Amino acid sequence: MLEETDLVFIALGSNLGDRRGHIGRAVDLLRRTEGFEVVQVADAYESQPMYVVDQPVFINTALSGRCALGPDDLLARLKEIEVEVGRQKTFTNGPRVVDLDIVYFGAEILESETLAIPHPRRLERDFVLRPIAEIAPGFVDPVTLRTVEDHLRDLAESAA
């Protein structure tokens, strides 16, 4: 039986053009990726932009998957998908056609020049925690050893 600790979680967002369509296309391209199997996709949520607030509202979701690729190979594939869907380089935290981020790679903890897993800003982002909590509320963050659901609750309480 597959354990939650074996799953990869990817956050997806879009705030330009056909936001839902861009996310749907990215999910479809992931489904067709050799070495990656989409297990579950969360509902999509609208969210206000963070960091650079003068831009359109985002649609965000997350998915879980089984992955035979290594973290760097998965990151490279996600960047290819972003380009295939139409993302063009702008500026950090600026508007984008689609954005795909590895949030968790099972229970792995990794930090390199190109990749940090778990995602370093995951715990401050409702738009990341909420969809993951929808599909895997009991997933335990390998750094904090607390569930995603607990972190989402903490974030909501700190915003109140």
Catalytic residues: 87, 96, 99, 101
CB atoms within 10 A of CB 85: 23
Which residues touch 122 (CB under 8 Å, ≥6 apart)? 103, 104, 128, 129, 141, 151
Helix (H, G, I), strand (E, B) or coil at 17: coil
Q: Which residue has the tokens 């904090």?
A: 144
Helix (H, G, I), strand (E, B) or coil at 115: coil
In angstroms, the CA 5 to CA 138 distance is: 10
